[in-house]
């Protein structure tokens, strides 16, 4: 089958300088799709224009298999490549214009319910796209596949936000615990308020070290008690008169607890 000229598609990021965020769509632009005689492929001649999505993991390359909802070892056989369903591209809106697709990473899952796209850690996983095209002109079929785009190394824009709400189940609809926190300049929690509805209804308030480790905590327990827990070696300081009906304490020298 004669080959089409299929340049690598261009990835349009938001913001243009990147890095790409999982939560933002990536526009994929394919220009210069042409027959061997350099004539452009017309929309009515196209039989399938899109992009296959690859990822590099552990020194190998995998491709997304849409039919089975999984990543598989990237084939080299032309027939096996042609059998994969690509991310579809919309045809040009003006004569000679580009073919355009949209890659949406957030919320996509594989057949087992795991995220299809993940943020990169030390450059892994790296995603890239290759455009694939088939066309028929004057009864003759043509096909082609491009080289890869540059790597997509996703970040999570949610994790970059200073104020956040975190749920134990990942979503608000069935959460048993919700934590509200504000991050410092190192993007570590400066403090948090946590409300627990599962395992006993409690509320916990805490401040944290620069690295996000809890310091002092106040807990409103499920039985109605109020627990004040200062950091190790620190004190509870009351800067006003204290009024109490009964005080139970542990004598400094040891022995049974005493009540005033």
Question: Would you list the DSSP string of the chain?
Answer: -PBPB-PPPEEE-SSTT-PPBTTS-EEEEE---B-TTSPBPPGGGEEEEEEEEEEEETTEEEEEETTTTEEEEPP-SHHHHHTSPPEE-BPPSSTT--EEEEE--TT-B-TTSSBSS---BTTBSEEEEEEEEEEEETTEEEEEE------B--B-HHHH-SEEEEETTSSGGG-SEEEEEEE-TTSSEEEEEEEE-SSS-EEEEEEE-TTS-EEEEEEE-TTS-EEEEPPTT------S----S--EE--TT-SS-EE-
Q: Could you tell me if 196 and 181 are in contact, meaning their C-beta atoms sit under 8 angstroms apart?
A: no
Higher pLDDT, 180 or 172: 180
pLDDT at 58: 64
Centre a 10 Å sphere on the Cβ of residue 106 and count the other Cβ atoms it contains.
16
Across 66-70, average pLDDT: 95
Could you identify the residue written with the tokens 């994790």? 159
Between CA 145 and CA 131 the distance in angstroms is 6
What phi and psi, each to the nearest 5 degrees, are found at residue 46?
-70, 140
Task: Give the residue extent of every domain in the chain.
Answer: 10-145, 161-237
pLDDT digits (tens, 9 = 90+) for 30-56: 999 999 999 999 999 999 999 999 998
Share of the chain above pLDDT 90, in %: 65
Higher pLDDT, 29 or 123: 29
C-alpha of 11 from chain center: 18
pLDDT band at 166 (very low <50, low <70, confident <90, very high): confident
- 201: CB partners within 8 A, 6+ apart: 222
pLDDT digits (tens, 9 = 90+) for 179-235: 998 988 877 889 999 999 987 899 999 999 998 899 999 999 999 999 999 999 999
* Strand bridging mode 189-196 / 202-208: antiparallel
Across 104-131, average pLDDT: 92
Centre a 10 Å sphere on the Cβ of residue 56 and count the other Cβ atoms it contains.
17
Share of the chain above pLDDT 70, in %: 99
- For 25, 84, 97, 102, 251, the CA distances from 11, given in Å and listed in that order, are 10, 21, 16, 10, 70
pLDDT at 132: 96
Record the pTM: 0.65
């Amino acid at each position: 089958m004669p080959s089409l000229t299929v340049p690598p598609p261009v990835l349009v990021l938001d913001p243009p300088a990147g890095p790409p965020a999982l939560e933002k769509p990536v526009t994929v632009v394919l220009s210069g799709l042409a027959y061997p005689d350099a004539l452009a492929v017309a929309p009515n001649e196209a039989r399938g224009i899109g992009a296959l999505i690859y990822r590099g993991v552990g020194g190998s390359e995998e491709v997304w298999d849409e039919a089975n909802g999984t990543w598989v070892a990237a084939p080299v056989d032309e027939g096996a490549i042609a059998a994969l369903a690509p991310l579809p591209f919309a045809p040009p809106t003006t004569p000679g214009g580009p073919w355009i697709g949209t890659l949406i990473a957030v919320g996509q899952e594989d057949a087992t319910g795991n995220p299809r796209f993940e943020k990169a850690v030390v450059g892994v996983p790296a995603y890239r796209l290759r455009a694939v095209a088939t066309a028929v002109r004057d009864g003759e079929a043509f096909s082609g596949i491009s080289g890869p785009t540059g790597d997509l190394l996703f970040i999570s824009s949610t994790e970059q936000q200073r104020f956040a709400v975190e749920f134990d189940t990942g979503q608000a609809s069935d959460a048993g615990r919700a934590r509200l926190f504000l991050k410092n300049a190192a993007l570590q929690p400066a403090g948090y308020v946590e409300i627990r509805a599962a395992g006993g209804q409690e509320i916990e308030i805490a401040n944290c070290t620069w690295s996000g480790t809890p310091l002092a905590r106040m807990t409103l327990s499920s039985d109605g008690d109020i627990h004040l827990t200062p950091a190790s070696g620190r004190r509870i300081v009351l800067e006003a008169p204290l009024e109490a009906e009964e005080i139970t304490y542990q004598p400094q020298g040891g022995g049974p607890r005493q009540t005033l």
